[in-house]
Structure 1
Amino acid sequence: MTRRFRVNTLLSGKLEELGVPPADVLRHAGLPAGLLDLPKPAVTTEELFALWRAVGEVSRDPAIGLKLGSEDRIERYDPIAIAALYTPSFAEALQRMARYKQLTCPEELRIVNGPRETSVEFLWLLATMTEPPTLIDLCFAWVVNIARRGTGVPLTPARIQLTRRRDPLPLLEQHFGCPVDYEGASNAIFFHNQDLERPFLTHNAELLSMIAPQLDQELNQREAEQSLPDRIRLILKRQLAGQRPTVQLLARELHMSVRSLQRRLTAEGSSFQQILEEARREMARHYLVHSSLELNETAYLLGYEDANSFVRAFRVWEGIPPAHWRELQRV
């Protein structure tokens, strides 16, 4: 997993167009003055959060994230967005976006299918602080912008859930055209399942066949460079969404037998249970910092029998109960 975020080289120009001086943003964020002039600017998770927090504060525009996430000029799209637009449907576009996100940052685009709705959530895997609202707005606007451009219709989400307090201005409701629930358990955008099946008018199989293999090759190379425990940890994090990962499911996803997997892990000096606990610990820290989930809800998402089992495990990891740990992070 890459540990740094690539910053879009076009960000500086976009900010200037919106009347936001990039130099002021970088100064406010405590970042190097020439960062956005680099050929391939990259930042840590903490620096990324500082950058987007500064964008919101310097611009003093509560809609700045929505504006930056709703780019109309396709020549400004990054390869991930272009590959998404060339897919046959919105559902496949989301899968491509989630897959290729791994190339550019330590972030997961988590897609969870329900009986009537599908949720999309952005998880910053190395974050130790709450993500800036401007960044959440941008990410959600980016997904909806691709959906609307691809389908050719003003597609609206089913609803949006945010952890932040209610905004007195109905900017998000007006932009997305759907209800927005504040002070929720997590930051997530929900789509009607039937909308995911909408075909993309921008589908172009020939152009997709030119772009996707390059992205897949880079992704496969990244995965080949990862150690087996690192690959397993990422897979288990994806599976930890209300289900209990098993060594059988893991072996199937890795296209190897259970015996071969266990033999490989033993050679690495590790085990399935050890890596599962590491993945649970990382996801537990994420949920406690970035959501208002109750402990029993967090325990469920991490695959524990009950809240008591989760609390006992967390005490072993951090030395204190999860509720106490969460309070310390918010001081």
Structure 2
Amino acid sequence: MNTLGTASVAALRQYVRAANARGIDTGSLFTKADLDPSNLQTDDGRINGEQFQVFIRLLCEESNNPILGLETGDFVQPGSYSVVGYITMSCATLGEAVARIAPFEKLVGDMGTTSLSMNGDDLKLTWNCNYTDPVIRPQMVDNIFASWINYARWLADDNKASPSSVHLRRSSPGPELEQAYTERWGCPVRFCAGEDAIVLHKALLNTPLRQPDPLLRKTLEAHALSQLATLETDTALTHRVKHSIRRQLMHGITRQDMVADHLGMTSRTLQRKLSQEGVSYQQLLDEVRQGMAEDFLTNSELGIPDIALRLGYSETTSFHRKFKAETGKTPGEFRQLKAE
């Protein structure tokens, strides 16, 4: 099952714009990452987090650029943050905009989480990246921070507004490239730090923004809360789907249309909702099958051909092959090991 959640198409677009500017063929990257380029045409679409991570990894390899994340921040737009971008645009001050990051950042994606803390006259925004690839993590953090700083300057209509300091866990890209950070951010940047954080002087939070609109902000926030509720409902959907799959498998049935019907929706709607959650029906079916197979092998005396039949396999050999791919052992070896 996907452990990286989902990301908004808006977040993907920023990387695509950066790649196109460098003359990189994004079509091949989409193919290798198993992503559909037509996703870019949707305004509220979401993509699988694992695939997003693969796409960025491929982009890193193709560009061979150790500060790719920093440079992609140059391509941030209000739309890069989905509805959150438009909420911040309607805020009255930079402080109001900063306060909207943590509550709504899940709408942008599950790439990481933000926490805010005050220390004297300073506000610290700490970002914890959820992505696990050691090549991707530093580039992702660089992208997030570069995007935040560029976007804040645009909101405030002040290209010179800068943090007090930026702390990065990543190692230094080298003395020559360190200058790219300080030139863009206009503040000291500490590498090999204990956290990824931006420190702002609290006086900066009073900076007025260019397009305050309290009424529009409230309307957009209500819409954002509705979208968050939908995401949370969809997260619970996987549990309902797996429960329905278990019921069907007790009769040797693995039909997606019957599971969808049981949940009161069409097969196409189920597929779309699962895709938004970053999983597929086949992934959930495989997960449930594996759990039931291990349970049957451990706690029953059913023969292996009978287990395969109950789990909806047309051939016992298919069950053997899939089980060994998951555990490294055949069903018989697994049963014997559990019996010892």
* Superposition TM-score, scaled by structure 2 size: 0.57
Q: 1:7, 1:41 within 8 Å by CA — same for their partners in 2?
A: yes
SS at match of 1:119: strand
- Deviation of 1:156 after TM superposition, in Å, equals 0.6
1:58-117 residue CA offsets vs partner (Å, 9 max, x unmatched): 123344323322336556663211211211111211121221112343331222222122
Structure 2 Cα separation of the partners of residues 113 and 226 of structure 1: 33
Q: 1:118, 1:193 within 8 Å by CA — same for their partners in 2?
A: yes
1:158 to 2:164 alignment:
yes
Q: Which residue of 1 aligns with 2:8?
A: 6
Q: 1:158, 1:190 within 8 Å by CA — same for their partners in 2?
A: yes
1:199 to 2:208 alignment:
yes
- Deviation of 1:208 after TM superposition, in Å, equals 1.9
Q: Which residue of 1 aligns with 2:21?
A: 17
Q: 1:6, 1:43 within 8 Å by CA — same for their partners in 2?
A: no
* Superposition TM-score, scaled by structure 1 size: 0.59
SS at match of 1:61: coil
1:267-288 residue CA offsets vs partner (Å, 9 max, x unmatched): xxxxxxxxxxxxxxxxxxxxxx
Q: 35-44 or 135-144: which moved more?
A: 35-44
1:18-42 residue CA offsets vs partner (Å, 9 max, x unmatched): 3222134346xx411x433224341
- CA spacing shift, 1:2–1:221, aligned 2, 3 Å: farther
Q: Which residue of 2 aligns with 1:261?
A: none
Identify the match of residue 93 of structure 2 among 89, 107, 128: 89
Identify the match of residue 149 of structure 1 among 144, 149, 154: 154
1:51 to 2:55 alignment:
yes
1:205-263 residue CA offsets vs partner (Å, 9 max, x unmatched): 24323322211222245557778xxxxxxxxxxxxxxxxxxxxxxxxxxxxxxxxxxxx
SS at match of 1:112: strand
SS at match of 2:117: strand
Please, which runs of 5 or more residues in structure 1 have no aligned partner?
228-331
SS at match of 1:208: helix
Structure 1 Cα separation of the partners of residues 46 and 156 of structure 2: 32
Q: 1:7, 1:43 within 8 Å by CA — same for their partners in 2?
A: no
Structure 1 Cα separation of the partners of residues 61 and 4 of structure 2: 28
- CA spacing shift, 1:25–1:91, aligned 2, 3 Å: same
SS at match of 2:71: helix
Q: 1:83, 1:212 within 8 Å by CA — same for their partners in 2?
A: yes
Structure 2 residue identity aligned to 1:111: L
- Deviation of 1:48 after TM superposition, in Å, equals 3.1
Structure 2 Cα separation of the partners of residues 91 and 15 of structure 1: 32
Please, which runs of 5 or more residues in structure 2 have no aligned partner?
237-340
Question: Identity over aligned residues, as a percent?
Answer: 18
Structure 2 Cα separation of the partners of residues 215 and 188 of structure 1: 26
SS at match of 1:190: strand
Q: Which residue of 2 aligns with 1:42?
A: 47
SS at match of 1:183: coil
What count of residue pairs does the alignment treat as equivalent? 222
1:116 to 2:113 alignment:
no
1:174 to 2:183 alignment:
yes
Q: 1:80, 1:100 within 8 Å by CA — same for their partners in 2?
A: yes
Higher share in helix: 2
Structure 1 Cα separation of the partners of residues 169 and 24 of structure 2: 27
Q: Which residue of 2 aligns with 1:187?
A: 196
Q: 1:166, 1:182 within 8 Å by CA — same for their partners in 2?
A: yes
Q: 2:92, 2:209 within 8 Å by CA — same for their partners in 1?
A: yes
- Deviation of 1:194 after TM superposition, in Å, equals 1.3
- CA spacing shift, 1:183–1:114, aligned 2, 3 Å: same
1:134-153 residue CA offsets vs partner (Å, 9 max, x unmatched): 21111001111221112222
Structure 1 Cα separation of the partners of residues 202 and 26 of structure 2: 39
Structure 2 Cα separation of the partners of residues 96 and 121 of structure 1: 14
1:144-184 residue CA offsets vs partner (Å, 9 max, x unmatched): 12211122222111111112221222111111011111111
- CA spacing shift, 1:136–1:124, aligned 2, 3 Å: closer
